Structure formats: structure tokens, C-alpha cells
């Protein structure tokens, strides 16, 4: 079951909020440099106290829109979580249009329709997952990971406590600001 929480999170200045015990939260984001025609996605999965479980980033070929790129980040994050045998209960991102596309009840015949259907299919494997729209300023960690990706870099996945110092520091600051 997919639920969306779009109301209260829009006004929240909180970067990190603890969740139910043993629940995972995934934050994803996209960065775009229109001058160089470069797009990258990044994401982080954290446990209920904010400890990093997985972080990932990759370049993407120029998508048809920024919303499509946001949807790609969501799809890649969910697929990674499922490949690792994990379940995420909360997915947050700063694109309200992407939230609306995923929870939309009508068939989407736009360019976003196919990827939205892929995301819905991936989400259907979870017992329950909540999608949260958050302010861009509250998506600092995922945004920093996406910014870390360089145009010539291969995709990366960090896990097993092998996280760069700057990421651990950023997550610690994010949690402490709560």
C-alpha cells in the first residue's frame, strides 16, 4: 500500500525525523547543470535513528524533464533497496510533481507514465510505504550525494560502514539539527 503525506511535511523545517523502530527512510535528489547538460542522482537510506545503511549516486543521460529525473532517482533507490533485501517504509524527495505522479489514480500517457508504473510496481512489493514531499532545504544529504557525482564518474554504492567522512559528518549535523 502506498500512502502519501504531502501536507504537514511541506511546512516542516526539520531535516531529519526519527521514525518507527526498525523502519528505513530513503531520501533521493537530482542535481542538474543545464550549461553542461549534466544530470546526477543521489540517495541515502537511513535507519530509525539516522544511521546510514546505503548511499548511492550516478550520472544519468539527459532525461526529458527534471521530474523524470526525480522519478529515475526514486526508481533506482527503490530497486537498490530491494536488491539488498531491505524494505524502506518512508521515501522522501523534494519534487511534489513526482509525488503526485506516483500516487496519481489516472493512467498517465505522458513520458513519465512508464517510469511511474515501474515505481508503482516496485512499491507494490512493500507492505506499506509512505511517500513524503519535503522542502528542498530539508533534503541536504541526498542533494550533497548527487552533487558529489562528477560528470565522468561511474555509479557508486556505499554500504557496510564504508562511508566517506564528509557524508558521516553531514548526516550527523542533519540529525543534530532536529
**Cα–Cα distance between 114 and 85 in angstroms, integer?**
24
Q: 29: which DSSP letter? A: E
pTM of the model: 0.84
Digits of tens for pLDDT over the chain (178 positions)? 455 443 333 334 455 566 666 788 899 999 988 888 889 999 999 988 888 999 999 999 888 888 899 999 999 999 999 999 888 888 888 888 888 888 886 677 788 888 999 999 999 888 878 888 888 777 889 999 999 998 888 999 999 888 999 999 989 888 776 5
Superfamily of domain 2-176, CATH level 4? Ribonuclease H-like superfamily/Ribonuclease H (3.30.420.10)
Q: State the Cα–Cα distance between residues 91 and 45, nearest whole angstrom.
A: 9
Phi/psi for 12 (5° steps) reads -75, 125
The kind and range of the H/E element at 3 are: strand 2-5
Amino acid at each position: 500500500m502506498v500512502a502519501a503525506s504531502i501536507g504537514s511535511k511541506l511546512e516542516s523545517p526539520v531535516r531529519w525525523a526519527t521514525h518507527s523502530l526498525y523502519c528505513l527512510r530513503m531520501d533521493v535528489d537530482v542535481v542538474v547543470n543545464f550549461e553542461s547538460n549534466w544530470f546526477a542522482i543521489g540517495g541515502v537510506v537511513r535507519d530509525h535513528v539516522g544511521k546510514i545503511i546505503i548511499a548511492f549516486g550516478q550520472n544519468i543521460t539527459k532525461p526529458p524533464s527534471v521530474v523524470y529525473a526525480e522519478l529515475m532517482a526514486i526508481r533506482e533507490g527503490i530497486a537498490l533497496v530491494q536488491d539488498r533485501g531491505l524494505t524502506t517504509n518512508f521515501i522522501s524527495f523534494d519534487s511534489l510533481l513526482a509525488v503526485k505522479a506516483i500516487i496519481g489514480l489516472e493512467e498517465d500517457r505522458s513520458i513519465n507514465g512508464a517510469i511511474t508504473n515501474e515505481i508503482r510496481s516496485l512499491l507494490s512489493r512493500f507492505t506499506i510505504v509512505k511517500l513524503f514531499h519535503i522542502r528542498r532545504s530539508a533534503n541536504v544529504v541526498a542533494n550533497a550525494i548527487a552533487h558529489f557525482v562528477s560528470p565522468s564518474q561511474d555509479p557508486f554504492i556505499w554500504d557496510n560502514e564504508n562511508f566517506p567522512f564528509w557524508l558521516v559528518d553531514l548526516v550527523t549535523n542533519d540529525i543534530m539539527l532536529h
